[in-house]
Chain A
Amino acid sequence: MRIGVTVFPGSNCDRDAMHAVERAGATPVELWHADPELKGVDAVVVPGGFSYGDYLRPGAIARFAKVMGPLEEFAKSGGPVLGVCNGFQVLLEAHLLPGALLRNTGMRFVSRRARTRVEKADTPWTALYGEGEEITLPVAHNEGNYYADEGTIRELEEEGRIVLRYLDNPNGSANDIAGICNEARNVVGLMPHPERVSDPALGSEEGLRVFESVLAAAGAKV
């Protein structure tokens, strides 16, 4: 299986995402922002970082990069897409997911381990977790405070689209939201970084199943 990892100017978790993809047993493929093609990959990860320096708003400029056209089509046709941290912000700006991410309520960058609960295992990126399973993931962000209007939040809750929830909310997110998916459930955005805990050499593999899940989901389809 080939998993694409987008690289915008200022992306800085792209190499980490590729490493996690490799550890999960898939082949990582670099998707350069200026090339309007997905190179026939089976899934796409939009990694974290500070695309375009976070200028204007995090993700606001990346959303117009050439690679985004085919990526949006891929997402709309059901292809598995995962946005992590800044990648989550990009997917929100591209309207592939609803809502916005605001400054953390503490008004500081927050870098620490956050305890979270996997709420839904029916997405291609969480299939190998148990629903209700608690995992500890790193967070590292300035703007991770998930916000949406009341109607949208209600919709997300009712449709079971909150995929990951904080047990100790580090940033003021509405309803402790750490990750959501789209209506079709193939597009997932996560604020925490599963790719950083995907290698036993670093003391934890709690995030690896995110990447293994998409392999399993693809296998099930074939």
Chain B
Amino acid sequence: MSIQETYASLGLSDYEYDRILELMGRAPNYLELSLFSVMWSEHCGYKNSRPLLRRFPNTGPRVLQGPGENAGVIEVGEGWALAFKMESHNHPSAVEPYEGAATGVGGIIRDVIAMGARPVALLNALRFGPLDDERNRYLFREVVRGIGGYGNAIGVPTVGGEVEFSPAYSGNPLVNAMCVGIIRADEVVRAKAEAGEGNLVVLFGAKTGRDGIHGATFASDELTEESEAKRSNVQVGDPFAGKMLIECSLRLLERNLLVALQDLGAAGIASSASEMAARGEVGIEIDAEKVPLREEGMEAWEVVISESQERMLAVVEPEKADEVLKVCERYELDAAVVGRVTSHGELRVLDNGEPIGSVPAQYLADAPVYEREVQRPSYLDEAQRFDPDDLPLPDDYNEVLLRMLAHPSLCSRASVYEQYDSEVGSDTVVRPGADAAVMRIKGTKLGFAVTADVSGRHCYLDPRGGGAAAVAEAYRNLSCVGAEPVAITDCLNFGSPEKPDGYYGLSECVDGMAEACEVLGTPVVSGNVSLFNETERGAIYPTPAVGMVGVFEDVSRHATPGFKREGDMVVVLGGIPRWPREGHPLSGSSYLEVIEGKVAGRPIVPDLAAEKEAADLVRTMIRSGLIDTAHDVSEGGTLVAFAEMALAGGIGFDFAAREIERFADDKRHLQEILLGEKGATFVVTVPQNRWPELQEALSGANIGYDDTGYTGGDRFVVPGLIDLSLEDLRRARERDLFEQHAPEGGHLG
């Protein structure tokens, strides 16, 4: 193999190789080249996305730790804080879905442990191709099994998530996992190898084998038929070892035995050690022969870049090393002193005392940065060309509602989340199925809520608006359980940035998200970028996933979407958006996709001020105890929102006849009201005797509202349009997404 072929096979470009030569002043050997290849991959080095990520706001009154550490940290109150992060495992899951998803969960849990936090909640955001394709069904089934297989065993509840299906993800599924951990604010650990020279480096956890060698570079390539042949690159997870690693790490921290802690992920010991060294501005030497191995005959370079799972790297003061090893033994984990902190600033790998590779840690941390030209792609004009006035009016709303509720992207997610233990830990206040999961903090009145939201279709049709919409939806979801939104973590899933379409989508989405984060006051505190999500058929939709965390002062004051009582008034309320509006509520809607089979038009561009006003008001009313039932209007519009609330509460719904009569002559407007998606809108209920209080609460605000009907009975009625029993709705919506045959509507176009 020529040198050129060698570095190309490691995913390095000619330009990057030249830069390595220039930095090093000599030709790197294979190990050194491997280090650059992994540390300069998108996954570790953010070489394509770094200039864009700078646009995100990342400070705020509750932010204790922004981006740059293993996870972001926010303050809750009474000395409590939350560490959280979301990360992708798309490429590994495309070739080995069970292990890819399982190790995705394991990896994100270790990021949270590395901050010193106890992991207490997991979420995931998933995208697959349509379920009428056998390979897509296989990927979906195995990814869900993998998430459950790992999360259930390790004892961290999976409390929320998101899944949708679209041809854009055929062959390139998205598997984004998020973890939230709890920690005392003054005990946050940072992964800096400071207090430097003479300290020891301890590796603990599972033994090291030949897993995932060059997995990080693999994760930053496009998927081709050859990827299938790279199967051996995917790591294998062991949740049992993961559980021991949680307990052991927390015990070590509790006893104050560690100077710094870092999880091992992409590129294993090499990447973790170089990150610690670069952050601490010190050097680290690793003795490869001291690493406990699972198999024989491993080369030293393999040992240091292996991605064997369930391992952590710690910096320890020499006099505490024995105690550290003893604690590891108690938890039946392998542990060894594998190196030391030095002053030379290099990451140096030794094999029985012989240096076999040495690179200044700063070089590795300093991946090249590519700023590319932002060029509006040609597909957008075509995709946005759609006139809602050409849309047929539904002739049977009964059928429309049932078909929408039964669609794989809108139906009940119970068949997914019932495979996840959502309650272990005994902190889950609101379980999956609501707008956001609600968790308590034991021994206090405090709590937090967390949601994961994704807007691929919207971003495809309008990347900037879609980016903002994803953040706005997360903000609504937290607000309608009653939590105060604080900050987000994100996972940016995009196609190749080397293609103008791909880079445009990424850049525009980031701008939209950044603007929304700014206006809504929810900075980005951690995240991950996954590029090159392409197959031979093309790129995925631009798909940012937003994981948002909010806090409660009193977690008992929360709301859920299900109707609670017969005879409650059902009120639709929304921020009054600017006019003329940009985009149309039926453009890019679920209705358009499910019923008309089209993904087209320009969706409503979010009015962030209106979003904030409406959401903040809903939250205030929940906190004051005025309302306990709220749901945001998103995919499927108000009609689907009403149906979801009726089914969640097991109580029927009567739409007020006068509301329908008002629009008797304007059927298009009625269609828009019932099925459109315009953002900034909520459905709440209130007992009739408290209706004046609700009006009072709404009167001062710039809010539009309508009392649209009443809860009660066991039917779902919109006069003249819909008359269905709850049982009809339930049969449509409660379907098993894993049934043998492709569900109807699984494929569109």
Q: Which residues of chain A in 53-98 are interfacial with respect to chain B, using CB atoms and an 8 Å cutoff?
A: 53-55
Q: How far is the CA of A198 from the CA of B153 in the complex (A)?
A: 22
Interface centre among A109, A142, A198 (most CB of B within 10 A): A109
Is the CB of B518 closer than 8 A to any CB of chain A?
A: no
A-B contact pairs, 30 of them (CB 8 A): A9-B243, A10-B244, A12-B154, A12-B155, A12-B424, A16-B424, A50-B155, A50-B243, A53-B240, A54-B153, A55-B240, A108-B418, A109-B148, A109-B149, A109-B152, A109-B420, A109-B421, A110-B418, A110-B419, A111-B152, A111-B419, A111-B423, A112-B414, A140-B421, A196-B423, A196-B426, A201-B555, A201-B556, A202-B426, A202-B440
**Chain A residues closer than 8 Å to B243, beta-carbon distance:** 9-10, 12, 50
- Additional 19 contacts, C-beta under 8 A, given A50-B153, A140-B421: A9-B243, A9-B332, A12-B155, A12-B243, A49-B155, A53-B240, A55-B240, A109-B148, A109-B152, A109-B418, A109-B420, A110-B419, A111-B152, A111-B419, A111-B420, A140-B424, A196-B424, A196-B426, A201-B440
Q: How far is the CA of A138 from the CA of B428 in the complex (A)?
A: 12
Summed over the interface, the residue pairs from A and B with CB atoms below 8 Å come to a total of: 86
Which of these, B148, B331, B556, contacts A9 with CB under 8 Å?
B331
Q: How far is the CA of A111 from the CA of B426 in the complex (A)?
A: 14
**Chain B residues closer than 8 Å to A109, beta-carbon distance:** 148-149, 152, 418-421
User: What sequence of 0s and 1s flags, for each residue 191-222 of chain A, a beta carbon within 8 Å of any chain B beta carbon?
Assistant: 00101101101110000000000000000000
Query: A16 near B425 (CB under 8 angstroms)?
Result: yes
Is the CB of A147 closer than 8 A to any CB of chain B?
A: no
Q: How far is the CA of A9 from the CA of B331 in the complex (A)?
A: 7
In whole Å, how far is A47's beta carbon from the nearest beta carbon of chain B? Answer: 10
Interface centre among A49, A111, A138, A193 (most CB of B within 10 A): A111
**Chain A residues closer than 8 Å to B152, beta-carbon distance:** 50, 109, 111, 140, 142
**Chain B residues closer than 8 Å to A112, beta-carbon distance:** 414, 418
Is the CB of B238 closer than 8 A to any CB of chain A?
A: yes
**Chain A residues closer than 8 Å to B154, beta-carbon distance:** 12
Residues of chain A whose beta carbon lies under 8 Å from any beta carbon of chain B? 9-10, 12-13, 15-16, 19-20, 48-50, 52-55, 108-112, 138, 140, 142, 193, 195-196, 198-199, 201-203
User: What sequence of 0s and 1s flags, for each residue 137-163 of chain B, a beta carbon within 8 Å of any chain A beta carbon?
Assistant: 000000000001100111100000000
Q: How far is the CA of A131 from the CA of B240 in the complex (A)?
A: 39
In whole Å, how far is B564's beta carbon from the nearest beta carbon of chain A? Answer: 13
* Known A-B contacts A111-B417, A111-B418, A201-B440; A50 and B426 likewise in contact (beta carbons under 8 Å): no
Query: B153 near A10 (CB under 8 angstroms)?
Result: yes
Q: How far is the CA of A195 from the CA of B238 in the complex (A)?
A: 27
**Chain B residues closer than 8 Å to A199, beta-carbon distance:** 426
* Known A-B contacts A55-B240, A108-B419, A111-B418; A19 and B148 likewise in contact (beta carbons under 8 Å): no
* Total contacting residues, chain B, CB less than 8 A: 33
Q: How far is the CA of A193 from the CA of B428 in the complex (A)?
A: 14
**Chain A residues closer than 8 Å to B428, beta-carbon distance:** 202
Q: Which residues of chain B in 420-444 are interfacial with respect to chain A, using CB atoms and an 8 Å cutoff?
A: 420-429, 440, 442
Query: B556 near A111 (CB under 8 angstroms)?
Result: no
Q: How far is the CA of A27 from the CA of B417 in the complex (A)?
A: 34
Is the CB of B357 closer than 8 A to any CB of chain A?
A: no
Query: A138 near B423 (CB under 8 angstroms)?
Result: yes
Is the CB of B239 closer than 8 A to any CB of chain A?
A: yes
Query: A53 near B421 (CB under 8 angstroms)?
Result: no
**Chain B residues closer than 8 Å to A16, beta-carbon distance:** 424-426
Interface centre among B244, B332, B418, B425 (most CB of A within 10 A): B418
**Chain A residues closer than 8 Å to B555, beta-carbon distance:** 201
Query: B426 near A9 (CB under 8 angstroms)?
Result: no
Q: How far is the CA of A13 from the CA of B152 in the complex (A)?
A: 11
**Chain B residues closer than 8 Å to A48, beta-carbon distance:** 424
In whole Å, how far is B447's beta carbon from the nearest beta carbon of chain A? Answer: 9
In whole Å, how far is B552's beta carbon from the nearest beta carbon of chain A? Answer: 12
Query: B240 near A140 (CB under 8 angstroms)?
Result: no
In whole Å, how far is A220's beta carbon from the nearest beta carbon of chain B? Answer: 28
Q: How far is the CA of A90 from the CA of B424 in the complex (A)?
A: 19
In whole Å, how far is B358's beta carbon from the nearest beta carbon of chain A? Answer: 39
**Chain B residues closer than 8 Å to A9, beta-carbon distance:** 240, 243-244, 331-332
In whole Å, how far is B349's beta carbon from the nearest beta carbon of chain A? Answer: 32
Report the nearest B residue to A142, measured CB to CB.
B152
In whole Å, how far is B703's beta carbon from the nearest beta carbon of chain A? Answer: 30
Report the nearest A residue to B442, measured CB to CB.
A19
Q: How far is the CA of A15 from the CA of B429 in the complex (A)?
A: 17
* Known A-B contacts A10-B153, A19-B442; A193 and B423 likewise in contact (beta carbons under 8 Å): yes
**Chain B residues closer than 8 Å to A20, beta-carbon distance:** 426
Q: Which residues of chain B in 400-424 are interfacial with respect to chain A, using CB atoms and an 8 Å cutoff?
A: 414, 417-424
